[in-house]
Every structure is written in structure tokens, then in C-alpha cells.
């Protein structure tokens, strides 16, 4: 709301020393995009290249906005994006922030994120796909449509697959509503590359490709600490060591999902902490209630089997 006001009134076309100049810093401040970028820096560990790209895109949008105000260009910039990376690397989280930035800069009316997968778009029977896809598009209008594992829309092995129909409707909307709908495709990098090779129309409409790297062990520990801090928990001294050990093992096991595995591990550790407190304490203080200790982590199955068998179907319980 505010973003639009500022963008559309000549008020921010402040005279920067006479003439009709636009103060870019003022525009940045007024739209509070800086606030979102700072929050991104604070709340997400690592992801340096991702943060850099988001800043670049934000600058580009600010400049586009300024150009428009000075009558330099009519066509809105192309904003459809592709986020590639392994599970749990922060794609959904960053997409939410991106939607917020786009909204603050007036590129979408509402700034909400609608997350879907193939099943939300594609029907089982003839005639079912178009209404499903259109319904989702209607919901996403004014915001960001986030399509997780987008490559499942395309199934070349089945020549009458309805996914193709969904892709065509999406392409049309991406072109015709580019001033009020941003589509972000997400998924594994190699599969997305294959998808783009087979879908030139989609490839040509994606302006920004952002790759999310896996986290290293130090980043995963920092992520654990940040998550705990946000939940008003912390690791005690032995707990820190145990968490480090946990990460070193978990990272090598099947189904490892970066920050998501950390969140799951912490959820289970909190359950164990609660049982431990119940069975061993009567009177508890705030510190006892918020401290996770080594045993809360070391009871995990991750520590039980040195051979790392493939029996671990879940998330490293
Ligand atoms: N860099 C980070 N710092 C702190 N927390 C993070 C970071 N990256 C991800 N998280 C947290 O990890 C969880 C998983 O992140 P998110 O859902 O954004 O990942 P994703 O790439 O979309 O994963 P998936 O492929 O499983 O959907 C969320 O709770 C998120 O807040
Ligand atoms: Mg996700």
C-alpha cells in the first residue's frame, strides 16, 4: 500500500539538487525494502550468493521504478524466477521474502505466496486440468506463485500427460499478467536444467536463476543455534558438542535435508528434554526448561548405528 503511494506520486522524485532527479536512497528507505533485506541477512545463516542476488534484483527493481517515474520505459521488468537447490536449503523461505519485496516495490498488489506442486495444477481426467490451473492462478494473482518441483509438470514418457496443458496455461498467464503475477519455479538443479531443455517457452520466460548451495557443518550448527534462540531454547556446553557430532553424522546419512533436518532434530530433542525433566526433576527453573543437553541429542538413532545402514527411511530419528 505504502509502496504504491510512494511509487506513484512524484513526492519521492525529490529534487536532488535541482532538476527532476530521484533520490534512490530515499526510495529504498520509503519502501522499507532495506528492512526486508536486513531481516533476510539476520534470519538466514550463510546463503551469501543468494542474498547477493536478491539485493541485485531489489536494486534493479528500484532503478526500474525510478526510470518509470521519469518516463524512461513502459514495459515492466520480467520477474519470473527459478530457485534451484537441495531440500531444506531455504528456497521457500526466500520466496516468501521475495514476495514481500515485490509487494513493497509495487510490482504485485498483495505480496502473498501460493505454494503448489503438480497435483494442485494437473487433473486426472480430460477437462480437469484447465480449471484447476486457472483456479490456482486466480488465487496467486497479485502475489507469487511458487511451484515446487516444477519439472514434474512435464512427463515426456507419457505423451498424453495433462501436465503439458498446465504448462501452456501457466505460460500464458506469465506473459499476460506479468505486471501482477510472479512465478517462481523450484527444485533440484539437474532436473530443472532438463526441464528447461525440453520446455523452451518456460526457459525463455524465466529471467532470474538463483542457486541455493548446501550448508556446511558450521552453518548447520549456526542454524541450529538460531532456531533454538527463536524458540527460547539453547544448548548447554555438552549439548553444543553433541550437536556438532550429530551434524557430522547426519550430513552423511540418507535423506539429509539441510536446515529441515536440523529443525526436525531439534523438535525431537525438545521432546526428549521434556521426558528427561519429567522423569528426573520436580522443581524446574527457566534455565532447566530451556536447556537442551547432550543426552537429548545423543539418544538419536543417528548415533546408534556406525554403519549408516539404509534402514533410515525417516529423517534420522
Ligand atoms: N539459512 C538458514 N538459516 C536459518 N534457517 C534456515 C535457513 N535455511 C532454511 N532454514 C529453515 O529451515 C527450514 C526449511 O527451509 P525451507 O522450507 O525454506 O527450505 P526449502 O529449500 O524450501 O526446502 P524443501 O525443498 O524441503 O521445501 C525452515 O524452517 C527455514 O526457516
Ligand atoms: Mg520448500
Please list the pLDDT of the chain residue by residue as tens digits (317 residues). 343 333 444 444 444 444 678 888 888 888 888 888 999 999 999 999 999 999 999 999 989 888 888 889 767 788 999 999 999 999 999 999 999 999 998 899 999 999 999 999 999 999 999 999 999 999 999 999 999 999 999 988 887 889 999 999 999 999 999 889 999 999 999 999 999 999 999 999 999 999 999 999 999 999 999 999 999 999 999 999 999 999 999 999 999 999 999 999 999 999 999 999 999 988 999 999 999 999 999 999 999 865 544 444 445 45
Determine the pLDDT at residue 18. 47
Quick one: which H or E segment has residue 81? strand 81-85
Q: How far is the CA of 15 from the centre of ligand 1 (A)?
A: 43
In sequence order, what are the beta bridge partners of 312? none
CA-to-CA distance for 150 and 120, rounded, in angstroms? 11
Distance CA 126, CA 307 (A): 49
DSSP annotation string for 140-194: HTTSEEEEETGGGG--TTSTT-THHHHHHHHHHHHHHTTTT-EEEEEE-HHHHHH
pLDDT at 24: 87
Number of continuous H segments (helices) and E segments (strands) in the chain: 15, 7
Helix, strand, coil: what percent of the chain each, to 5?
55, 10, 35
- How far is residue 21's CA from residue 279's CA, in Å, rounded to a whole number? 69
pLDDT of residue 306: 59
pLDDT at residue number 14:
43
Ligand 1: atom nearest CA of 215 is 1
Closest atom of ligand 1 to CA, residue 95? 18
Q: What is the pTM of this model?
A: 0.87
Length of the chain: 317
Distance CA 55, CA 33 (A): 10
Q: What dihedral angle (degrees, nearest 10) is formed by the CA atoms of 178, 182, 186, 190? A: 30
d(CA 122, CA 251): 35
Can you list the domains of the chain with their CATH numbers? Answer: 2-212 (3.40.50.300), 217-303 (1.10.8.60)
271: number of Cβ within 10 Å:
11
- 77 close to 64: Cβ distance less than 8 angstroms: yes
User: How far is the first Cα of the chain from the last one, in angstroms, to the nearest whole number?
Assistant: 45
pLDDT at 5: 38
* Bridge-based pairing state of the strands 208-212 and 234-235: unpaired
How much is the CA Rg of the chain, to the nearest whole Å? 23
DSSP state of 86: -
Which residue carries 501482477 as its cell?
Answer: 180
Gap between the Cα atoms of 99 and 106, Å rounded: 11
pLDDT score for 307 = 55
Give the distance (Å) from ligand 2 centre to CA of residue 62: 27
13 in Cβ contact with 69 (< 8 Å): yes
Is the shortest distance between the CB of 46 and ligand 1 below 6 Å? yes
CA-wise closest residue to 160 among 119, 204, 201, 129:
129
**Residue 242: C-alpha distances to residues 30, 264, 265, 293 (Å):** 46, 16, 12, 8
Is 93 a pocket residue for ligand 1 (Cβ < 6 Å)?
yes
Q: Which residue has the least CA distance to atom 4 on ligand 1?
A: 44
**Mutational test site, ligand 1, from 54, 82, 89, 93, max ligand atoms within 8 Å of CB:** 93
Amino acid at each position: 500500500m505504502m509502496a504504491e503511494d510512494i511509487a506513484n506520486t512524484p513526492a519521492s522524485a525529490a529534487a536532488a539538487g535541482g532538476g527532476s532527479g530521484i533520490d534512490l536512497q530515499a526510495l529504498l528507505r520509503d519502501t522499507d525494502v532495506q528492512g526486508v533485506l536486513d531481516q533476510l541477512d539476520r534470519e538466514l545463516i550463510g546463503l551469501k550468493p543468494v542474498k547477493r542476488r536478491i539485493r541485485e534484483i531489489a536494486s534493479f527493481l528500484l532503478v526500474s521504478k525510478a526510470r518509470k517515474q521519469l518516463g524512461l520505459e513502459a514495459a515492466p521488468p520480467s520477474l519470473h524466477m527459478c530457485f534451484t537447490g537441495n531440500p531444506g536449503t531455504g528456497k521457500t523461505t526466500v520466496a516468501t521474502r521475495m514476495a514481500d519485496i515485490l509487494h513493497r516495490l509495487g510490482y504485485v498488489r498483495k505480496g502473498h505466496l501460493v505454494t503448489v506442486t503438480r497435483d494442485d495444477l494437473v487433473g486426472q481426467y480430460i477437462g480437469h486440468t484447465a480449471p484447476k490451473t486457472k483456479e490456482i492462478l486466480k488465487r496467486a494473482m497479485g502475489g507469487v506463485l511458487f511451484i515446487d518441483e516444477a519439472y514434474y509438470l512435464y512427463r515426456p514418457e507419457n505423451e498424453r500427460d495433462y501436465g503439458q496443458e498446465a504448462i501452456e496455461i501457466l505460460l500464458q498467464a506469465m506473459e499476460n499478467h506479468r505486471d501482477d503475477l510472479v512465478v517462481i519455479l523450484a527444485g533440484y538443479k539437474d532436473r530443472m536444467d532438463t526441464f528447461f531443455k525440453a520446455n523452451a517457452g518456460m526457459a525463455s520466460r524465466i529471467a532470474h536463476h538463483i542457486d541455493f548451495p548446501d550448508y556446511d557443518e558450521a552453518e548447520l550448527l549456526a542454524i541450529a543455534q538460531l532456531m533454538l534462540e527463536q524458540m527460547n531454547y539453547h544448548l548447554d556446553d555438552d549439548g553444543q558438542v553433541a550437536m556438532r557430532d550429530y551434524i557430522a553424522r547426519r550430513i552423511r546419512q540418507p535423506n539429509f535435508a539441510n536446515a529441515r533436518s536440523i529443525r526436525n532434530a531439534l523438535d525431537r530433542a525438545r521432546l526428549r528434554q521434556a521426558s528427561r525433566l519429567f522423569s528426573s526433576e520436580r522443581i524446574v527453573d527457566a534455565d532447566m526448561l530451556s536447556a537442551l543437553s547432550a543426552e537429548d541429542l545423543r539418544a538419536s538413532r543417528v548415533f546408534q548405528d556406525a554403519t549408516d545402514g539404509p534402514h533410515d527411511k525417516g529423517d534420522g530419528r
